[in-house]
Amino acid sequence: MEATADRRAPLTLVLLCAGGFLVSLQQTLAIPLMADLPDELHTAPGNTTWLIGAGLLSGTVSTPVLTRLGDVYGKRRLILITIGALVVGSLVGGLTHSFAVVIAARAVQGAAIALLPLGLAVMRDELPPARLPLGTAALSSTLAIGAGAGLPLSGALVDGPGWRWIFWIPAIAGTVLLCAVVLALPESPVRGGGGVDPWGALLLSSGLCAVILALSHGSAWGWISMDTVLLGVGGLAVLAFFGVVELRSPAPLVDLRLAARPRLVAAHAVSLLLGFAAYANMMVTPQLLQQPADTGYGLGLDAATAGLWLVPMALSFGIFAPAAPVVVRRWGAETTVGLGAMVMAVSYVGRVYLSDGLAQVVAGSVAVSLGTVLTYAALPIVVMSDVPASQSAAANGLNHLLRTVGSVVSSAATASAISGMVMETAPGVTLPSYDAQVLMFWLAAGASLVSVAVLAWSRRHAPSEPTA
């Protein structure tokens, strides 16, 4: 049996990494459509933010439910469902002429985000322990590589065969992957007990939806506007009630007692903080590349050229990924997360003072990526080492959810900074000041350092390195 698992481990890893790449690719492929879709589908420019927001929102609220279903009914089965959602959403988006249907298609595609925590759980079940660090590093790195590849590819598609290929490519690739998973990915025998709490799923989804809408649109609506406050406060109240319901549920969607273990509390808090820090790299670097030169800090590149200079940041994930398992085996997963967080903190402080010229901007983004690779590769191992195998998918789903929330907070903070800290470059012309970019660098460095402190706290409350 062990020999069979060893033989199929490479194919399992390839299939899951292909899925991670495709999911992240389809998320960024749609970004250039925000400029063209108002004319193509006759809608107001302000509505196009939903092209990205619908998928992110759908993925965030569906991930805890889908990962819990994976633990109960089989991870392979749910992976097939997530890939199927990607294919169906892509087909609908490619065929429609309605903007509303395109947004609905993006929401269906968003359910595929759950493939990452499901894939990590499959790796724990199927990969030999010695290969688990490499597997988690490889799967985490494919997300960044896919996201980086999406920007230049999407520009070429929009300018070439047309915007519908933004949907046709995921549909075709997803169909091929779906067939490969059916034929080659085994179903894990590890299952969790009980069922799925429908009331918990409803409460968690609605609470998360409200909070994320408040965070993502607060900058545009106003942080003290009635809509933002009602959604934010109402969402938090629903999430608090969700916690009460889950503590009384015989089959909770999220096992809060398990999640309250010191090492898991630390891992989830670090995921939230590092989600903020890592996303700041994706938000601020394009600003430095694309802002006009007369700001005094911008390089004045067009969108296509800036996209090409973001590729080194994405490729660095693939280049650095093999180093992460070596560090994990040598010093342990928690130490690797702390080391990565320190690299991110030092890199962001360096970027405050070294962001003059193209070489420094690109080098700074790559340096942050090195730290991100180490943290993202090791965090799932910390999580899985402290939960039963029957709850791996749900635990990773919660951790991934908090990372996404951190990214949303980072996006909202960046939007507030660049809209609130401006400079006048010409009479009547205002652009974000360099102080806005510096503020985000300091906030990201601070979040990274707080992560190190949280990890130090957790090490005093639990053994440093249980087996994965």
Note the pLDDT tens digit of each residue in 82-104.
Answer: 999 999 999 998 898 888 888 89
Same domain, 60 and 184: yes
Q: Tell me if 327 sits within 8 A of 381, measured CB to CB.
A: no
Position 26 in a domain: yes
Position 202 in a domain: yes
Kindly report the number of other CB atoms within 10 A of residue 412's CB atom.
20
Same domain, 281 and 172: no
Same domain, 201 and 190: no
Tokens 């900058």, located at residue: 219
Look at 308 and 356; give whichever has higher pLDDT.
Answer: 356
Look at 18 and 388; give whichever has higher pLDDT.
Answer: 18
Position 323 in a domain: yes
Say what the pLDDT of residue 345 is: 96
Same domain, 130 and 79: yes
Q: Is 247 helix (H, G, I), strand (E, B) or coil?
A: helix
Look at 167 and 459; give whichever has higher pLDDT.
Answer: 167
Examine the fold and report which residue of 153, 174, 196 is the final residue of a domain before the chain moves on. Answer: 196
Q: pLDDT tens digit string along 373-417?
A: 889 888 888 888 777 777 777 788 888 888 888 888 888 888 888
Look at 47 and 240; give whichever has higher pLDDT.
Answer: 240
Same domain, 274 and 409: yes
Residues near 280 by beta carbon (within 8 Å), at least 6 away in sequence: 348, 410, 413, 414, 440, 441, 443, 444
Same domain, 110 and 245: no
Position 299 in a domain: yes
Residues near 226 by beta carbon (within 8 Å), at least 6 away in sequence: none
Beta bridge partners of 432: 422
Same domain, 273 and 176: no
Given pLDDT bands bounded at 50, 70 and 90, which one contains residue 273? very high
Say what the pLDDT of residue 231 is: 92
Q: pLDDT tens digit string along 136-160?
A: 878 877 777 777 677 677 767 767 7
Say what the pLDDT of residue 1 is: 42
Examine the fold and report which residue of 196, 218, 237 is the final residue of a domain before the chain moves on. Answer: 196
Given pLDDT bands bounded at 50, 70 and 90, which one contains residue 440? very high
428 vs 446: CA distance, rounded Å: 35
Start-to-end CA span in the chain (Å): 20
Q: Tell me the average pLDDT across 322-338.
A: 86
The domain total for the chain is 3
Same domain, 153 and 297: no
Q: Is 251 helix (H, G, I), strand (E, B) or coil?
A: coil
Say what the pLDDT of residue 465 is: 43
- Give the residue among 60, 34, 59 at the shortest CA–CA distance from 47: 34
Cα–Cα distances (Å) from 363 to 172, 292, 341, 433, in that order, read: 35, 20, 17, 22
Position 255 in a domain: no
Same domain, 290 and 236: no
Given pLDDT bands bounded at 50, 70 and 90, which one contains residue 195? low
Same domain, 163 and 220: no
Single pTM value for the model: 0.82
22 vs 134: CA distance, rounded Å: 19
Examine the fold and report which residue of 205, 231, 250 is the final residue of a domain before the chain moves on. Answer: 250
Q: Is 7 helix (H, G, I), strand (E, B) or coil?
A: helix
Position 358 in a domain: yes
The token pair at 362 is 């690109």
The range of the structural domain enclosing residue 228 comes to: 197-250
Q: Tell me the average pLDDT across 41-52.
A: 70
Position 306 in a domain: yes
CATH code, 132:
1.20.1250.20
Position 256 in a domain: no
Same domain, 64 and 93: yes
Same domain, 164 and 18: yes
